[in-house]
Amino acid sequence: MDQKHSLFDNLKKYNEKGIYPLHMPGHKRRMLVPGISTEFDYTEVDGTDDLHHPEGILRDSMERTASVFGAGRTWYLVNGSTCGNLAGVSAMCPVKGELIVARNCHRSVFHAIEIRDIMPHWIYPDYDKDYGVLGGIDPQDVSRLFDKYPNSRGVVLTSPTYEGVVSDVASIAEICHAHGVPLFVDEAHGAHLGLVDAAGFPRSAIQCGADLVVQSAHKTLIGLTQTAFLHFKSSFLDVDNISRYIDIYETSSPSYPLMMSLDACTEMILKQGDEIFGRWAEMLYEFDERVRGLRHLRVMCHGRDTVDDHTFYAFDKSKLLINCRYSPFTGEDLVHILRDRFGFELEMQLSDNALAMTGPGDDHQAIMRFADALLEIDNEIDGEIYSKIGSIIDSKIDGEIDKADGTQKGTDTPSAVYQSVLLQDIEQAATLFDAMEAEGESVDIKDAMDRISGEYIYCYPPGIPLIVPGEKLHYDNIGSLMELQKAGCKLRFTRSSEKENQIYCADFKIKNTV
């Protein structure tokens, strides 16, 4: 069929043929599922193509998407970016190989490392003390790790971060290629980057030279939840090997409504990209202008706070990270206020921060109303507090202001503690695979010193493991976990129980320390 047609148009033509389905799914596209249309819920038959062996309309659709995103090849993923991370890591590194991996990657990257019995060499992101968030990956740190671990088969990093921090992907790609290995970027939160220049968003990772890039179409484009792209453009990876691992990790019964929504992202960019992204950029500009009046609350890289006030390489302004450090509120307080009083549900909160995400489907007036809500909350904060801390806010010194009397105190907030765990240069005493496969026992956290972790511990969202299997437990990471628990952070333990205050430890002796 004509590649110029959308996947929706091609499937509509199939429906118009009137072919009766003596095959699955059982609803036969005739029975209604409450709240869901079954009209385009197909299986793989002649005329609908096969995602795992595309030769017709799905092949054409993915080729069209690759062209729009600037990739050499694009695969549709209906198991989310998680599927892409599993396939990408598996394709770039052999079993028992070595990889340089950013310590703030999503847990699905860690799961791929575990499955492949890979030895990770952690690279730690920068840290922005002012807002208490992780920054980008320094290219020089990548170079130093290659010098230390020359057998590394590539680099895996996350950009942009959940909060919108973008790394210098182009420089890191050059370093990887100089060592003859690929760069894999988890760009799950950046599917919108680089698509419309006039929108002012940073360039995408594939445009910056990354070899393999995963993007969640549902996070910042119009794909349905669970949809993602895997983009390839490389001379350092085998495209057939990538396809092989996608076949392993992706369902053999892909959803056509999900794939139609992926194609719809491409259709939107081709036909309405300039218009929709132009409105998005204008909306963010007006939001910036409105929140300039904030005195206590701050929005990272918005309003009076700019990218120049940070050490970030670049920032994705579609993310609205509201910081409450200089207010009487925590991020959790702010989330409740915005929900209960103003009718806004935010993406997440952690300690002093609350994150709101914008997208192409946002209503302009709603975002202006959100800005006005922040201003109204800000104006209600006691003016006496501002008189004591306003000058300090403007000078942007490090440290936190005590919310009771305006005096400076340390930065040991839950957010700072959380981030500090991810920045600790922890000894990886065993591979994640060995630690998970070893026999072990659950012990009280305070008695786990010098033991080897046999489980993951993480906050969700964003799903970045605080502790990974194979890490040696010592005062810094154990103490930080206990502080987070006391502060009320909801930690998830994959093998033991937070309620019992225990951690699962692998029961084996360390043969070699890496």
Residue 392 confidence (pLDDT) above 80: no
pLDDT tens-digit readout, 232-266 = 999 999 999 999 999 999 999 999 999 999 999 99
pLDDT tens-digit readout, 104-125 = 999 999 999 999 999 999 999 9
Number of C-beta neighbours around residue 69 at 10 A: 23
Cα–Cα distance, 119 to 470 (Å, whole number): 10
Q: What is the pLDDT of residue 492?
A: 86
Residue 135 confidence (pLDDT) above 90: yes
Residues 6+ away with beta carbon under 8 Å from 461: 162, 347, 348
Residue 484 confidence (pLDDT) above 90: no
User: What are the structural domain ranges in the chain?
Assistant: 272-396, 424-506
Cα–Cα distance, 8 to 174 (Å, whole number): 39
| The model's pTM | 0.89
Reduce the DSSP state of residue 410 to 3 states and report it: coil
Percent of the chain surpassing pLDDT 70: 89
SS3 assignment for 445-504:
HHHCCCCEECCCEEECCCCCEEECCCEECCHHHHHHHHHHHHCCCCEEECCCCCCCCEEE
Contact by Cβ (8 Å): 232, 73:
yes
Q: What tokens were used for 441?
A: 């026992």
Cα–Cα distance, 352 to 113 (Å, whole number): 32
Fold of 424-506: Ornithine Decarboxylase; Chain A, domain 4 (3.90.100)
CATH 3.90.1150.150 correct for 272-396:
yes
Q: What is the pLDDT of residue 425?
A: 73
pLDDT tens-digit readout, 361-379 = 999 999 999 999 999 999 9
Q: What is the pLDDT of residue 398?
A: 41
Same fold, 272-396 and 424-506: no
Q: What is the pLDDT of residue 395?
A: 43
Contact by Cβ (8 Å): 204, 186:
no
